[in-house]
């Protein structure tokens, strides 16, 4: 049994899920089944009515997936969790649940590229509007909230500019308007940042990244109040159907068990690499939340336990110069995604954020020379050596 006040390192490994096997299997079994047999017609009817606990069909719930959902809920300090086939399945399910035609979303001035794509789709097809907001002050945020605003969507640190948003401030304002704050906590994981503790209502994750941690699964998670998660499960999850497979849930349960150790090393390596980059003659600017020289460092200190494993930096010159750096790398892989054991680098302007119109991209602070580095678990000196030779080449 996990004690109520267990440390997070313990909660990553144990949960109070009801035991799901009679054989004492230490690791969670994979329930690779689409359906569950009822012993009688009355039992089937009772399960559908919700009068009896139990499984029906794996799009509605699955025991392996349930273990993961309970674990992420405990880690984020929320009442319930829900697992999805991808981070985007989780985010789209949440935003569809929180809006109707004619509603409006306020979001951070900078978002994951496909979240931006989703907002555009919601606007074009369903007349759900949105406004971008830097959220650097209460006044600024208040100004963007309209009578039809039904939620605030926040990424912090923002991908890929790494600006941080004050979650306590956003939650305080949202309470005044009685609307929820949804936070994409992919970059931080609950080990570094717990948005619900800051007063926010809903947390979403691309579990593809640090939670899986090994670059071998695509998945999404949502955590929030029981009522909200129950509503998602019965509507935008059940009827749209972006559920997680039992095997992928099993990979994530496994990933969580080592997440704290991996995160400590990602953070340490990123700090070391960022310090070297700061003083490099070929580097214009470094954006790393864990650095005291970072403009939002006060916010980071208040709501994150460490600066994370991602940093971005601008190389001197133009886009071709940035691309030349990528092409010179030997150890570091040119790839989108992040949070893997391997160090990954990408050029957001031509890759993850290439579908955002150039002017809009510029407004978000994504220049053509901005590179995003997901610092891996290799020895930091080897990562630095490769980066340095590519910058100097």
Ligand X SMILES: *Cc1c(COP(=O)(O)O)cnc(C)c1O
Q: What share of the chain is helix, strand, coil (3-state, %, to 5)?
A: 40, 15, 45
Of 166, 184, 340, 386, which is the active-site residue?
Answer: 184
Cis peptide before 157 (omega within 30 of 0): yes
Query: C-alpha distances in angstroms, 227 versus 202, 224, 230?
Result: 12, 8, 5
Smallest distance from the beta carbon of 321 to ligand X, in angstroms? 26
Q: Mapping DSSP to helix (H, G, I), strand (E, B) and coil, where does residue 233 land?
A: helix
Q: Mapping DSSP to helix (H, G, I), strand (E, B) and coil, where does residue 374 land?
A: strand
The correct pick among 15, 108, 159, 237 for binding ligand X (CB under 6 A) is 159
Does position 220 bind ligand X by CB under 6 A?
A: yes
294 counts as catalytic: no
Say if CB 188 and CB 167 are below 8 A apart: no
Residue 71 phi, psi (nearest 5): -70, -45
Which of these, 170, 96, 181, lies nearest to 140 by C-alpha position?
Answer: 170
Give the helix/strand (H/E) hosting 386: helix 380-392
Query: Residue 86 or residue 189: which is nearer to ligand X going by CB?
Result: 86
Query: Residue 55 or residue 153: which is nearer to ligand X going by CB?
Result: 153
Query: Residue 123 or residue 337: which is nearer to ligand X going by CB?
Result: 337
Query: Residue 180 or residue 308: which is nearer to ligand X going by CB?
Result: 308
Residue facing ligand X at closest CB distance: 87
The correct pick among 184, 201, 296, 368 for binding ligand X (CB under 6 A) is 184
Smallest distance from the beta carbon of 360 to ligand X, in angstroms? 18
The correct pick among 28, 93, 149, 206 for binding ligand X (CB under 6 A) is 206
Say if CB 315 and CB 369 are below 8 A apart: yes
Smallest distance from the beta carbon of 358 to ligand X, in angstroms? 21
> How many Å separate Cα 165 from the centre of its chain?
15
Does position 209 bind ligand X by CB under 6 A?
A: yes
Of 112, 116, 191, 294, which is the active-site residue?
Answer: 112
Which of these, 338, 6, 322, 334, lies nearest to 187 by C-alpha position?
Answer: 338
Gyration radius of the chain's alpha carbons: 21
The correct pick among 218, 256, 273, 311 for binding ligand X (CB under 6 A) is 218
The correct pick among 11, 208, 291, 374 for binding ligand X (CB under 6 A) is 208
Which of these, 221, 167, 157, lies nearest to 194 by C-alpha position?
Answer: 167
Smallest distance from the beta carbon of 111 to ligand X, in angstroms? 8
Which among 48-56, 170-178, 202-210, 239-247 is the span making contact with ligand X, rule CB under 6 A?
202-210
DSSP tag of 237:
I
59 counts as catalytic: yes
Which of positions 84-113 make contact with ligand X (CB under 6 A)? 86-88, 112
CA distance 152 to 130: 10
Which among 42-50, 179-187, 235-243, 320-328 is the span making contact with ligand X, rule CB under 6 A?
179-187
Angle, helices 380-392/259-278, rounded to nearest 10 degrees: 40
Query: Residue 155 or residue 166: which is nearer to ligand X going by CB?
Result: 155
112 counts as catalytic: yes
> Total residues at the site for ligand X (CB under 6 A)?
16
Does position 118 bind ligand X by CB under 6 A?
A: no
CA distance 96 to 92: 6
Q: How many CA atoms lie within 13 A of 79 on its CB side?
A: 9
184 counts as catalytic: yes
Query: Residue 115 or residue 306: which is nearer to ligand X going by CB?
Result: 115
Query: Residue 88 or residue 299: which is nearer to ligand X going by CB?
Result: 88
Positions annotated as catalytic residues are: 59, 112, 184, 209
User: Which residues in this chain contact ligand X in the complex, by CB under 6 A?
Assistant: 86-88, 112, 114-115, 155, 159, 184, 186-187, 206, 208-209, 218, 220
């Amino acid at each position: 049994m996990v004690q109520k006040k267990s440390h997070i390192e313990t909660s990553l490994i144990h949960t109070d899920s009801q035991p799901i096997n009679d054989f004492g299997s230490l690791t969670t079994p994979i329930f690779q089944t689409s359906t569950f047999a009822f012993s009688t017609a009355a039992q089937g009817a009772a399960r559908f009515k919700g009068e009896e606990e139990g499984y029906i069909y794996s799009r509605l719930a699955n025991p392996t997936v349930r273990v993961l959902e309970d674990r992420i809920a405990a880690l984020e300090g929320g009442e319930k969790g829900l697992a999805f086939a991808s981070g985007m399945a989780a985010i789209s399910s949440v935003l569809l649940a929180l809006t109707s035609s004619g509603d409006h979303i306020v979001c951070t001035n900078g978002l994951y590229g496909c979240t931006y794509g989703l907002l555009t789709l919601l606007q074009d097809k369903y007349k759900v509007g949105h406004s971008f907001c830097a959220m650097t002050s209460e006044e600024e945020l208040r100004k963007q909230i309209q009578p039809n605003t039904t939620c605030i969507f926040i990424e912090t640190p923002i991908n890929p500019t790494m600006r941080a948003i004050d979650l306590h401030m956003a939650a305080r304002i949202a309470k005044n308007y009685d609307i929820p704050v949804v936070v994409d906590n992919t970059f931080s994981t609950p080990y570094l940042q717990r948005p619900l503790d800051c007063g926010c209502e809903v947390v979403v994750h691309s579990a593809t990244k640090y939670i899986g941690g090994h670059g071998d699964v695509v998945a999404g998670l949502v955590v929030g109040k029981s009522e909200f998660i129950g509503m998602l499960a019965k509507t935008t999850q059940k009827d749209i159907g972006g559920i997680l497979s039992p095997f992928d849930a099993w990979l994530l349960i496994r990933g969580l068990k080592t997440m704290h150790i991996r995160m400590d090393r990602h953070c340490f390596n990123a700090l070391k690499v960022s310090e070297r980059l700061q003083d490099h003659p070929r580097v214009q600017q470094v954006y790393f939340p864990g650095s005291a020289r970072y403009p939002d460092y006060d916010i980071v200190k208040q709501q994150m336990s460490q600066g994370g494993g991602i940093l971005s930096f601008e190389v001197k010159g133009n886009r071709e110069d940035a691309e030349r750096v990528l092409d010179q790398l030997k150890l570091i892989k040119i790839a989108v995604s992040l949070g893997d054991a391997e160090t990954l680098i990408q050029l957001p302007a031509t890759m993850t954020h290439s579908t955002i119109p150039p002017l809009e991209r510029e407004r978000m602070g994504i220049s053509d020379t901005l590179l995003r580095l997901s610092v891996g678990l290799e020895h930091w000196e080897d990562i630095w050596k490769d980066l340095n030779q590519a910058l100097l080449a």
